[in-house]
Every structure is written in C-alpha cells, then in structure tokens.
Amino acid sequence: MHRTVLSIGRAVVRCSQWSAGQLKKSTPSTYCRAILSNQAPSSFVNGNTQNIHTTSRKWQPEENKVYVLGCRSNNVKVNADGISLKYGEYDMELLFVWLRDHCRCSECYNHTTNQKNLQHRKLHSEDLPSSVEFDGLVLSITWSDGHLTSYDINWLVDNTYHQQHTDQVDKVVWDKETIETAGLPTVHFKEYMDSDEGLRKHLYNLVKFGFSIVTEAPPVHHMGTLEVSTRICFKQETHFGPDWTFTSNNERGDTAYSTMYLGAHTDNTYFTNPSGIQVFHVLEHNGDGGQTLLVDGQHCAEQLRAKHPEDFDILTRMVIPHEYYEEKLRIRSLGTVLSVHPTTRQFLQIRYNPYDRSPLYTLPPDQQKAFYRAYENLTKEVRDESNELWVKLRPGMVLFVDNWRAMHGRASFTGRRLVSGCYLPRDDWASRARLMGLMNL
C-alpha cells in the first residue's frame, strides 16, 4: 500500500491506495481523508504517486481552498465551499450547505415518515466540516459543531445534481416500422390481474413504449375496464366523471363524442397537470372504421430536436394556452408544448392538442412567427404516416396510453361504437412503476 501525507495550509491530507492488482476499475480505488486544521504549510512527504512528488519547495494553494488529492485517480477534492467527488462516470459537486441540509441521521431525518426534522436545527450556509472521509462507498463528514453526516455513494448518485439521471428501463422511441417489428406490447388479463409479475410487465410496457394492452379482459365496463384500470391505482375524476362509457351522440362539447376523424393528440392539455394515463376499451362496434391511432410523442420530439434544434428549444420555452369550454365550464392552462428534464434535457412530456389550443395571447408579436414555425415542424412529425400506428381495438382489449408521451387519435367510423374508459393520475401510476424499479424520473 502507498501512503502519502501532505500538509497544505489549513489541511492535512492522508491518502492510501491498494496495489493495482487489488483494484477494480468500476469502483473508486482511493481512500481519502482530509482533516481541516490550523497547521502551517509544509513540504510534501513520502511522495511516490503520479501526482505527488517529493520536494522541499513550499506548496502555495489558492487562498481559502483545501484539496483532498485522490492519489492516482483524484477522486475527491475539498475546497472552501464543498466537495468534488468522482465516482465512475459521475462527477458530483457537493456544496457543504447541501450536504448538511440533506443529512439522513435520525436527528435530522425521520425515517418513519421519510421527512426532515427541521425543528432540530437552523440551516446555515456557512456550515463547514472539521473532517471529510471517503472510503469509496461512504462519504462521511464531521461538522465543526461535532455533528456527523454519512452518505452512501448510491444515494448520492441518485440524488445529486448531475447530467446522467435516467430511467431504469431503456425506452424504445418508435415509429410504425419499429413497433410493428417489436410487436404490440401486451399482457394477458389473468396474468396481469393475478400476479405482481403480470402487473410489472404491464408497467414495463408503459415505461418502455408509452402504451400497453391488456388482452382477453371481460368485455364489460365494470368487471373489465374498471377492474383492469384500478389494478394500477385509483381513477382520476375529471369533468367527464370518474369513468365513462360513450357513443357518438355528441352529448359533450368534444370531438371525441362524434364519428369524426381525430388526429393524434394528448388529452387534458387544458389541465395544469394533465392526466397520466388514458384507458380505452371498445366494448362494441357494429360499423366500419374507428381504428385507434397511436403516435410516439417522444419520437416526434426527438426528430424535431435532430432536424430543427432551435424549434425544439422554442417549444420547451414558450408558454401557450389551451382551453376547454362548455356552458358551465371554463378550463384553461398555461404551459409549454414540450417539457424536458432540467439537468439532462431528456424528454419528459408532450402537450400537443391543436383542437384545444386557445387564442395565442401569451406571446408578443415578435415571438409568434417563431412559435408557429416550430409548432408546424412538430406537426409534420406527428402527421408523418411513417410514425403512425393503427390498431383495431376489439372487445376485451384494454388499451393504456401514457398521456405524457404517446398521442392517440381515431379514424372516422359508421354505426354504433361504444367506448369505455377512464383516466389515471400521473403521480400515482408513476409511483407504482418506481416501487417496481422501473422508473426514476
């Protein structure tokens, strides 16, 4: 084992490293400890690593900064404001105020309620440590008041600011050819209802493809549609009711209650927080047409980003209104057409519904032309036939659509077509997916 002792201004740094044969490339190889003290600068001692050399020359550090040298791999550095920690592919900048704020000890955090115990202390931005230790798996900090904070490296990877946050399931961003090659994502009713593995398979499909179909369900509303839907979570009640069965009788002020063609769109764009899943179950149809249209909104967004990056950026920044009006309802929301993760810029949501887009009063005239150009280019992707998947739903096929990702539509039709369905809230179906290890974001 190599050992280096270095005194730099206010810090004494001790680093040790196992021989190369004992190291694994996938994990940090260095154990580093920095003890902040009032010692005066001195020379390097016993320097025999790549980045530390024996010398009698005095080291002159930047003023008010303290470094922990991670020997050959430089995994950890401590400065006046925080800690820089490298772990595998992750480069994390951890401010002292952030580390103290997120302390998970029993004094600072209630592990029964999973909430902070804020009454125990006042958060101070000037909190400083007296010692910092990292053994490759656990970061431990002793603060100047004697308080001890420890973090498992996996918790830090999951919760700190960095640009590698991803979902645990690799999503398939699909067009018509891709999804037809892969096959429709389905799960049998009995497997889905009777086993956790069946439920997990259904949620996996939703995360991976943005939609999933439960097959061989009872072709009725209550024993079929609703039992299948509430297997995930409770229904989300809206102005359409807790759930519905409807025909083309134009009973509501919505194009869905007609026989007309419906282009690809997402629902509830007029809600501040659109529903997470829409469920469709065609219980009967004695005419022609009526096929269901599915389009991957994430694929369309990524195509736009690749071909017209400025337009993609515009649709993630410019806020526009959507509305739903009836005699006794005036629902309106403001939001962007596309949403992305704030650090990774990964796709998060599409709110695309030309039917419900209301008068554009949110943008000044000098921005409107750019918006219309961007919206038109996105629309070209949405309406590209190579991106359209058409499915003929039959009784017993219960379709779940991720309303934050996949767009749906419908061909015009003749005859009586009875459709059953409901909405599921985004937060609750995503919670179920996270509990099953399928989603992080």
Q: Which residues contact 37 (CB under 8 A, 6 or more apart)?
A: 10, 11, 12
109-110/115-116 β-pairing: antiparallel
Q: How many CB atoms lie within 10 A of CB 109?
A: 17
pLDDT at 284: 94
Say if residue 62 is exposed, middle or buried (CB neighbours under 10 Å; 0-12, 13-18, 19+): exposed
Distance CA 92, CA 383 (A): 42
Nearest Cα to Cα of residue 178 among 286, 60, 267, 298: 298
Structure-block tokens of residue 170: 């690799």
Pairwise CA distance, residues 197 & 203, whole Å: 10
Domains along the sequence of the chain with CATH: 2-159 (3.30.2020.30), 165-441 (3.60.130.10)
Q: Quote the CA–CA distance of 88 and 159 in Å, as a whole number.
A: 16
What is the CB-side half-sphere exposure of residue 299 using CA atoms within 13 A?
26
Query: For 43-79, what is each residue's pLDDT tens digit?
Result: 222 222 222 222 222 223 333 333 333 333 358 889 8
At 435 the three-state DSSP class reads helix
Spatial separation of the C-alpha atoms in residues 85 and 92, rounded to whole Å: 5
Burial class (CB in 10 A: 0-12, 13-18, 19+), 181: exposed
d(CA 186, CA 216) in angstroms, rounded, equals: 10
CA 421/CA 48 separation, integer angstroms: 70
Residue 120's pLDDT is what?
Answer: 61
Beta-ladder partners of 133? 33, 140
How far from 304 is each of 176, 239, 357, 377, 412, CA to CA, in Å?
17, 33, 20, 7, 28
- Look at residue 417 in the predicted model and tell me its pLDDT: 92
User: Tell me: the pLDDT tens digits for 159-187?
Assistant: 988 766 666 788 999 999 999 999 999 99
> What is the pairing mode between strands 347-350 and 186-188?
unpaired
The pLDDT of residue 250 is: 55
List the structure tokens of 147. Answer: 């308080």
Question: 303 CB contacts (<8 Å, ≥6 apart)?
Answer: 381
Q: What percentage of the chain's residues is helix, strand, coil (to nearest 5)? A: 25, 30, 45
> What single string gives the DSSP state of each residue in 183-243?
---EEEHHHHHH-HHHHHHHHHHHHHHSEEEEES--SSIIIIIIHHHTTTSPPPPBTTBSS
Tell me, what amino acid is at 316?
T
Strands 186-188 and 211-215: parallel
- From the number of C-beta atoms within 10 Å of its C-beta (0-12, 13-18, 19+), residue 125 rates as exposed
Give me the tens of pLDDT residue by residue for the chain, a chain 441 residues long.
Answer: 333 332 223 333 333 333 323 323 333 333 333 433 333 222 222 222 222 222 222 223 333 333 333 333 358 889 888 999 988 888 899 999 999 999 999 988 999 999 988 776 666 667 789 999 998 899 999 998 899 999 999 999 889 887 666 667 889 999 999 999 999 999 999 999 999 999 999 999 999 999 999 999 999 999 999 999 999 999 999 998 999 998 776 565 567 777 889 999 999 999 999 999 999 999 999 999 999 999 999 999 999 999 999 999 999 999 999 999 988 999 999 999 999 998 889 999 999 999 999 999 999 999 999 999 999 999 999 999 999 999 999 999 999 999 999 999 999 999 999 999 999 999 999 999 999 999 877
Q: Give me the residue label for tokens 């259904």.
A: 202
Start-to-end C-alpha separation, the chain: 41
Tokens for 423, please give them.
Answer: 């909405």
Angle in degrees, CA 14, 16, 21, rounded to 5: 170
The two three-digit tokens of residue 273, written as one number: 């927080």
Angle (nearest 5°) at CA 292 between 291 and 297: 145
At residue 186, what are phi and psi to the nearest 5 degrees? -130, 160
